[in-house]
Amino acid sequence: MERKILRGRLLSFLRRPESHDDTESFRYLADGGLQIEGGVIRRIDQFDALDARGAEVIDHRPHLIMPGFIDTHLHFPQTQVIASWAAELLDWLNDYTFPEETRYADPALAATMAEAFLDRLVAHGTTSAVAYGSVHAASVDALFSAAQAREMRLIAGKVMMDRNAPAALCDTAQSSHDATAALIARWHGTDRLGYAITPRFAITSSPAQLEAAGALAAAHPTCHIQTHLSENHAEIALACKLYPDARDYTDIYARAGLLGPKTLLGHAIHLSGRETRALAEAQAIPVFCPTSNLFLGSGLFDDARLRGAGLRPAIATDIGGGTSYSMLQTLAEGYKVLQLQGQRMHPYQAFDWITRANAAALGLADRIGTLEAGSEADLVVLDARATPAMAQRMARAESLAEELFVLQVMGDDRAVRQTYIAGRLAWSAP
């Protein structure tokens, strides 16, 4: 079997850092080696401790090698919606997003865009993602096929939506159930692919459709579930009006059997105490989407409150409400959202979040998100001196934490030198 050793400065988190001086929470090797065989990390150690005989040695010094970034919420058919001018979420959906998603009925377009979408991800250092397709099953087939060819670990699902959208984007409770079941049979657990049952949100699903989604979740307990929750006030009001029997927005999903530890809830911004407790009891995963929340003016994600209630949020780009594919830019904007609420995001916590913690949120921390032996070799090579401004700042940086904070605040795809997927080079900066 081909044996590869990557040499560089290795950084991998073991648990969530509690504070800025929690240096026990990660492993950092200033001259480390990652031994990779069959797409899997077999050993992590000081470079000198590894037996390099017969191995291909790739020297990435002086750059940092980290686990590839994990984006836990984004929309594959929205790559050409980014930067669309709208007052708020519901206008943005109706005026730009829904019309754009109708184009994904065309399998040829979906196939072309799937390649472009995955190209963007790897160029930004993102090696795994949880993606929404369009309502068309063929869009999800296209995305899974493209990810499979690249050996990417990808979770995705066909959006279920049967009302409050253009007719061309509406399925029915029954057809969405059957199409989802067929996609699960075709893709879930195949190679590195997983399925997420995807009712878009309460506004675009009838009660019958949410029930169908709940039935799918019960029948396929290893699948994820993804939807949107409490993104902005107009959305919450409309959702509650459409479901007058529900106690609140969260209860709409709870009643349909859609809340559990594999449920990813995009945004989760304006939650009552009752809703927060219900989410914590279900161990559902709120997903913080800072660039999207700022762009659409949706609100400020209250990370401290949710963590205080026992929740473990994930973090994501939410392309195309989000404005950047970069998980580094996502951290930069997330940092500012928390600052506005008197909360802090230390760079150790930030880099843990987009790697190990996002993997843990998906129940995949034994597969991705760290550099520990046995992990799949999805990696990003980062250069904190990538731009003249970063290099100038870095000339005065004296610690790993400072370097990480420069990457977190000033970094984007220009800081990504290489991306590896399953041990193979998937992207190299020109």
Q: Note the residues at the interface with ligand GUN (CB under 6 A).
A: 75, 89, 93, 97, 200-201, 228, 231, 292, 318, 321
Strand partners, 40: 37, 376
Residue 343 structure tokens: 């909360």
∠ at Cα 214 (216, 209), nearest 5°?
95
At 330, the amino acid letter reads T
Whose tokens are 């007058």? That residue is: 244
CB-nearer residue toward Zn ion: 130 or 377: 130
Least distance CB 413 / ligand GUN (angstroms) = 22
Compute CA distances 285 → 245, 268, 295, 334, 399, whole Å. 24, 9, 22, 17, 33
Q: Which does 201 bind (CB under 5 to 8 A by kind): ligand GUN, Zn ion, none?
A: ligand GUN
| Token pair recorded at residue 195 | 């399925």
H-run or E-run covering 113: helix 107-123
CB-based closest residue to ligand GUN = 321
Three-state DSSP state, 26: strand
Which residue, 297 or 310, is less far from ligand GUN as judged by CB?
297
Q: Are 126 and 70 in contact (CB under 8 A)?
A: yes
CB of 406 to Zn ion, least distance (A): 29
Instruction: Tell me the closest approach of the beta carbon of residue 79 to Zn ion, in angstroms.
Output: 13
- Torsion angle, alpha carbons of 37, 42, 44, 49, to 10: -80
Minimum distance, C-beta of residue 233 to ligand GUN, in the bound complex (Å): 14
Distances in Å between the Cα of 312 and the Cα atoms of 16, 40, 309 are 10, 27, 9
> Please, which residue, 303 or 318, has the CB nearer to ligand GUN?
318
Residue of 71, 149, 73, 136 whose CA lies nearest to 110: 136
What minimum distance in Å lies between the beta carbon of 104 and ligand GUN? 13
- Rank residues 10 and 258 by Cβ distance to Zn ion and give the closer one: 258
Answer with the entry of ligand GUN, Zn ion, none that 231 interacts with (C-beta below 5 to 8 A by kind). ligand GUN
> Which of the choices ligand GUN, Zn ion, none does residue 89 contact, using the CB cut-off of 5 to 8 A by kind?
ligand GUN
For the sheet with 56-67, list strands across it.
Answer: 40-46, 26-37, 3-13, 56-67, 379-382, 416-421, 424-428
Nearer to Zn ion, 71 or 318 (CB): 318
Smallest distance from the beta carbon of 110 to Zn ion, in angstroms?
A: 18
| Nearer CB in complex with ligand GUN: 35/134 | 134
Binding stretches for Zn ion (CB under 5 A): 266, 318
Least Å from the CB of residue 137 to ligand GUN: 18
429: left (phi over 0), alpha (psi -120 to 50) or beta: beta
Task: Answer for the pair 50, 291: CB distance below 8 angstroms, yes or no.
Answer: no
Q: Which is nearer to ligand GUN, 323 or 349 (CB)?
A: 323
CB of 156: closest distance to Zn ion in angstroms? Answer: 13
Burial class (CB in 10 A: 0-12, 13-18, 19+), 129: buried
On the 0-12 / 13-18 / 19+ scale of CB atoms within 10 A, 251 is middle
Cβ proximity to Zn ion: between 292 and 418 the closer is 292
Query: Residue 167 CB, nearest distance to ligand GUN (Å)?
Result: 17
Closer to Zn ion at the Cβ: 318 or 413?
A: 318
